[in-house]
Amino acid sequence: MESKRYNAFSEELKRVFGCRVHRISIDAGLTCPNRDGALGTGGCIYCGGRGSGSFGIARGLSVAGQIEDGKEIMVRKYKAKKFIAYFQAYSNTYESAERLKGLYDEALSVNDVAGLIVATRPDCLPPEILDMMEEYVDKTYFWMELGLQSVYDRTLRFINRGHTFAAFTDAVKRCKERGIRVSAHVILGLPGESRDEMLASASVINDMGIEGIKLHLLHVMKDTALAGLYEKGEVRVMERDEYVELVCDYLERLRPEVFVQRMTGDGGRDYLIAPLWSLKKWEVLNAIDKELERRGSFQGKALTGKSNHFSNSKSLSPNFFADSGPQPVINFPSTSTSAPV
């Protein structure tokens, strides 16, 4: 099998475990401070009542039951041998440390579960939770997935995230102090962001030493605030070729050591409004592979002497995208744009 032109997480799992490993998504019955009233009740504008991105989960079952259900599918479809329990729906650190530990341990007790990925918000990591999660660094194969979405505070306000970019940088710092590997979730195509602004977030990922990334296109799902904006013509989604080119540009600017854990998303068919082309996930992934091959390109190419698009760029500090103070300038090959507020 031909090797990928990017640092695929699936290959990392094969190296670590010596066999085919698949993630199984879990809904642990938790919620989010942006839904339960602590910060708000409506959630992010793209998130429906099921939690963002959490489709295909066997809800109604225990954590162990959901894993067993997912195992059966993964073995039949992909011949998987081991599994990563992926706590995906909502904010999976937004509970007491005692309850969370019980949920994580239940997942690890299932046969052939070899690790955990815990998805959460950067503002849901108090010290007692991080102290508890640090125990899993030595106990199992463990990743923290933090929802970054955007490096721009103005965008975070627009999508109703309820936290700032500074909250993300602080969460990453505290995770790294405990040896917890971090994967950042980034949405490409958010309203109001230019192509150069979206690509700039790759430099932030590089500078912060984040170990993994999940790239996701903007989806419009039913029963979301975003759906209302889309129906009024106030928000557009990208065409497939536009997205493929953007992902390839992004990968070229990303450190080759960063594990690419996702490059697209496939929202549930019954809930997706747009873009409908995203339902053909493998066609999108194949198109990305073909475009990288056509370019003769690979992850990190723009950071090498072969094609240094960032030769004049400034190193970005954690405060680069904050609201206050003078804004530095990122220099791109043909344009120059100030970081917005």
Q: What is the pLDDT of residues 157-181, one digit of tens each?
A: 999 999 999 999 999 999 999 999 9
Please tell me which of 1-10, 14-23, 46-55, 303-312 the model is most confident about, judged by mean pLDDT.
14-23
Look over the chain and give the mean of its residue pLDDT values, rounded to a whole number.
88
In the chain, where are the structural domains located? 9-310
- pLDDT at site 3: 85
Q: Which CATH architecture has domain 9-310?
A: Alpha-Beta Horseshoe (3.80)
- For residue 257, give the DSSP letter: T
Strands (E), the chain: 21-26, 82-87, 113-120, 141-149, 181-188, 212-217, 220-221, 259-262, 272-274, 329-331, 336-338
Task: Give pLDDT tens digits for 311-331.
Answer: 323 333 333 344 433 332 222
Mean of the pLDDT values across residues 81-110? 97
Mean of the pLDDT values across residues 29-49? 90
- pLDDT at site 306: 42
Mean of the pLDDT values across residues 1-13? 90
SS3 12: helix
- pLDDT at site 51: 53
Euclidean distance between the first and the last CA atom of the chain, given in angstroms as a whole number: 46
CA distance 137 to 129: 13
- Confidence class for position 42, pLDDT limits 50, 70, 90: confident
175 φ, ψ (degrees, to nearest 5): -65, -45
Question: Rg for the chain (alpha carbons), in Å?
Answer: 19
Mean of the pLDDT values across residues 213-219? 96
- pLDDT at site 312: 29
Is residue 163 a contact partner of residue 125, using CB atoms and an 8 Å limit?
no
Verify cis geometry, omega within 30 degrees of 0, for the bond prior to 127.
no
pLDDT above 70: residue 233:
yes
- Confidence class for position 332, pLDDT limits 50, 70, 90: very low
Task: Give pLDDT tens digits for 240-293.
Answer: 999 999 999 999 999 999 999 999 987 788 999 999 999 999 999 999 999 999
- pLDDT at site 57: 64
Q: What pTM was computed for the model?
A: 0.86
Structure tokens at 281: 């996930």
pLDDT above 60: residue 215:
yes
